[in-house]
């Protein structure tokens, strides 16, 4: 980009700054020559002072002309002597500039040197083309720094786990990062420019702009979930120019967890050691903010889950084994209108077919041999005003599918051996790791039951499709496992984390947690290295014959080699472009798509003369 283009693009964006004024770049207090002096004296002054121009002033020190080296040489080459007076060859048609003018406006004038005069027309400085280019170069550098700062800010906004929204003084959204976009389901391009109340539920950011009072750690209900937010006013020149809203936690549950942690430090509790996987299965108070992950894949699923939770519609959760389907089911229950009721889970693949009906619908006393005295309520009864979670629904026998469909349609059931029906008042959530559509085609699953369950479908992506979440999961579960087994906190090397990220994780999060448990319990040191990992997880060399594991030294060598090759290619390209432009650095920089200053830095780096 040329100087003109950059200046034109930014001159309106940034105010003319004080450092660009002529007075900051001129050579002050120039040596002047008077009208009565001779050309010989002028020549001696130019040689002594090593200047190319001498301002000519009158007896009142006012500027009346300019004497240049070119004019002097022309005079002497014509055989003239040096005793002639200054006035005989002085330039009288010349341009002057004021000290407070900007060099952005001055540098376009067709002069290599300009005399700077004050309000009394007295010479106060000399401004050369070199001075102007030096000032403009620094100005461009400043603009580039600002642009880079804006880029960095943009990266920070989009990399933040928290949702960040910025409004102006009128409450109009100026920024709306990806985290907030994924949470609300509203794309950034559709949010920017709209009033904040149209995009974010129950927001008070527009009020913060009016009052200028910050609010930290307040609870705000967004899409049916209580969130912890900060609202921070932006002050500029004594006025509120906007406000920033931040989702600090994904939910109030995080605050409760912090409170519980503080309580545990002050209360002695009897802790029973058990595997972390067992603890997770026993915890029925799961909420969406406890499902870790910041990837687009998982945040999209969580957003749909929040919306699904606000309805009473049946939900079908699909996904591979170990992806956390039951965690999502519990989260939906927690956010739903049925949250005050029980969460009852049924593993459809673990109940013998002969006992299926009695397990789901219950039985009366004497219904069959061995029946419990007084009978037993079924899962549907136990889930009254709550949620019934039918896990592994794809394993349900066809005959039971028929009975389940009838119950779901009529919303009433009857105990085995009973004659009285009871009403079904429970939300149904089903889950499976099988492809029910294929099962319907093969006749292994009833089509009408499938469509009865599949009102809202929630597909949980496998861990290999959300690799961005693996470091977060590692950090959380390592700490959790270490606390469970009362062992010192262990850390991973970067190489080990890389192996975790590259591994396929066919068992998904369940396999990840089991692997962490195994490493924590069997390893003595505090740092988990790549050689501690199972052989199947270690990254192999990409060479055609070698199967060795890359060590830290190997990787450092490859990085250095790659950098060396990259530098050589860059140097070769610069030399090629300089050859094409005949050594013209300005044209070369333009062809390379970089600034001329950057080109000079690279020429110095590669020692290109």
pLDDT digits (tens, 9 = 90+) for 120-156: 888 888 888 888 878 877 777 666 655 555 555 555 5
Burial of 282 (0-12, 13-18, 19+ CB in 10 A): exposed
Which of the four pLDDT bands, split at 50, 70 and 90, describes residue 590?
confident
Give which of 292, 391, 412 is closest to 345, Cα–Cα. 391
Residue in this structure with the two tokens 């140097």, named with its chain if needed:
571
Residue 428 pLDDT: 93
Rounded-to-10 torsion of CA 483, 485, 488, 489 = -50
- The residue ranking higher by pLDDT, 510 or 129, is 510
Residue 328 pLDDT: 93
Q: Which domains does the chain have, with CATH numbers?
A: 3-137 (3.10.580.10), 160-253 (3.30.450.20), 276-461 (3.40.50.300), 464-537 (1.10.8.60), 552-605 (1.10.10)
- The residue ranking higher by pLDDT, 591 or 58, is 58
Taking the C-alpha atoms of residue 194 and residue 384, their distance in angstroms, rounded to an integer, is 43
- φ, ψ at 201 (rounded to 5°): -65, 135
**Please, are residues 490 and 523 in contact by the beta-carbon 8 Å criterion?**
yes
Which of the four pLDDT bands, split at 50, 70 and 90, describes residue 80?
confident
Q: Does 482 have pLDDT greater than 60?
A: yes
**Please, are residues 106 and 23 in contact by the beta-carbon 8 Å criterion?**
no
- φ, ψ at 553 (rounded to 5°): -65, -40
Which of the four pLDDT bands, split at 50, 70 and 90, describes residue 475?
confident
Straight-line distance from the first to the last Cα atom of the chain, in angstroms, rounded to the nearest whole number: 24
Tens of pLDDT, residue by residue over 387-417, are: 999 999 999 888 889 888 988 888 888 888 8
Which of the four pLDDT bands, split at 50, 70 and 90, describes residue 276?
very low
Angle at 530 between CA 525 and CA 531, to 5 degrees: 75
* Cβ within 8 Å of residue 425, ≥6 positions away: 384, 385, 411
Which of the four pLDDT bands, split at 50, 70 and 90, describes residue 436?
very high
* Cβ within 8 Å of residue 116, ≥6 positions away: 22, 23, 26, 96, 97, 98, 99, 123, 124, 125, 126, 127
Mean pLDDT of the chain: 78
Which of the four pLDDT bands, split at 50, 70 and 90, describes residue 447?
very high
Give which of 516, 523, 481, 507 is closest to 276, Cα–Cα. 481
Residue 317 pLDDT: 95
Residue 547 pLDDT: 38
Strands (DSSP E) found in 397-490:
412-414, 421-423, 426-432, 456-459
Q: How many CB atoms lie within 10 A of CB 21?
A: 17
**Both tokens assigned to 248:** 């600090």
Give which of 321, 346, 316, 348 is closest to 332, Cα–Cα. 316
* Cβ within 8 Å of residue 259, ≥6 positions away: none
Tens of pLDDT, residue by residue over 240-274, are: 888 888 876 555 555 555 455 555 555 544 444 45
Q: Does 318 have pLDDT greater than 90?
A: yes
Residue 253 pLDDT: 53
Q: Does 281 have pLDDT greater than 70?
A: no
Tens of pLDDT, residue by residue over 224-237, are: 777 888 888 887 77
Radius of gyration for the alpha carbons in the chain, expressed in angstroms and rounded = 39
**Please, are residues 289 and 205 in contact by the beta-carbon 8 Å criterion?**
no
């Amino acid at each position: 980009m040329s100087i003109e283009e950059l200046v034109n693009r930014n001159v309106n964006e940034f105010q003319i700054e004080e450092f660009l004024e002529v007075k900051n770049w001129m050579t002050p207090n120039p040596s002047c020559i008077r009208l009565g002096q001779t050309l010989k004296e002028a020549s001696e002054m130019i040689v002594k002072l090593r200047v190319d121009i001498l301002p000519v002033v009158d007896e009142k020190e006012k500027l009346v002309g300019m004497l240049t080296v070119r004019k002097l040489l022309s005079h002497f080459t014509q055989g003239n002597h040096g005793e002639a007076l200054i006035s005989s060859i002085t330039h009288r048609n010349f341009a002057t500039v004021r000290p407070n003018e900007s060099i952005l406006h001055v540098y376009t004038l067709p002069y290599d040197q300009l005399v700077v005069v004050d309000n009394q027309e007295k010479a106060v400085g000399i401004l050369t083309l070199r001075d102007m280019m030096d000032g403009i170069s620094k100005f461009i550098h400043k603009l580039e720094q600002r642009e880079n700062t804006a880029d960095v800010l943009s990266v920070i906004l989009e990399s933040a786990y928290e949702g960040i929204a910025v409004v102006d003084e009128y409450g109009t959204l100026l920024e709306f990062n990806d985290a907030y976009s994924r949470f609300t389901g509203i794309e950034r391009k559709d949010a920017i420019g709209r009033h904040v109340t149209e995009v974010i539920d129950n927001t008070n950011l527009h009020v913060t702009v009016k009052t200028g009072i910050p609010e930290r750690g307040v609870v705000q209900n967004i899409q049916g979930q209580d969130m912890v937010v900060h609202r921070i006013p932006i002050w500029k020149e004594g006025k509120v120019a906007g406000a920033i809203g931040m989702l600090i936690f994904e939910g109030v549950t995080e605050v409760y967890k912090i409170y519980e942690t503080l309580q545990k430090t002050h209360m002695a509790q009897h802790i029973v050691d058990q595997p972390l996987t067992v603890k997770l299965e026993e915890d029925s108070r799961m909420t969406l903010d406890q499902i870790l992950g910041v990837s687009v894949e998982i945040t999209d699923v969580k957003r749909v889950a929040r919306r699904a939770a606000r309805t009473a519609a049946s939900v079908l959760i699909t996904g591979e084994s170990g992806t956390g389907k039951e965690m999502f089911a519990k989260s939906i229950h927690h956010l739903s209108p049925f949250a005050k009721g029980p969460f009852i889970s049924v593993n459809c693949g673990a109940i013998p077919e002969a006992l299926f009906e009695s397990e789901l619908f219950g039985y009366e006393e004497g219904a069959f041999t061995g029946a419990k005295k007084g009978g037993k309520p079924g899962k549907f009864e136990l889930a009254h005003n709550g949620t019934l979670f039918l896990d592994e629904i794809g394993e349900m026998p066809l005959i039971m599918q028929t009975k389940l469909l009838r119950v779901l349609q009529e919303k009433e059931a009857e105990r085995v051996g009973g004659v009285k029906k009871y009403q079904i008042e429970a939300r149904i959530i089903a889950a499976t790791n099988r492809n029910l559509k294929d099962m319907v085609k093969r006749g292994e699953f009833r089509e009408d039951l499938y469509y009865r369950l599949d009102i809202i479908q929630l597909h949980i992506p496998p861990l290999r499709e959300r690799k961005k979440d693996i470091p977060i999961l590692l950090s959380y579960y390592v700490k959790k496992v270490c606390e469970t087994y009362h062992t010192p906190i262990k850390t991973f090397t970067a190489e080990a984390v890389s192996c975790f990220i590259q591994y396929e994780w066919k068992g998904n999060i369940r396999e990840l947690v089991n692997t962490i448990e195994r490493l924590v319990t069997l390893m003595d040191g505090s740092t988990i290295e790549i050689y501690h990992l199972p052989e199947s997880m270690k990254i192999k060399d990409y060479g055609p014959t070698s199967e060795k594991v890359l060590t830290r030294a190997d990787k450092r060598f490859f990085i250095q080699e790659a950098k060396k090759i990259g530098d050589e290619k860059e140097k070769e390209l610069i030399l090629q472009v300089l050859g094409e432009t005949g050594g013209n650095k300005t044209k070369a920089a333009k062809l390379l798509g970089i600034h001329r200053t950057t080109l000079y830095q690279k020429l110095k780096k590669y020692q290109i003369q």
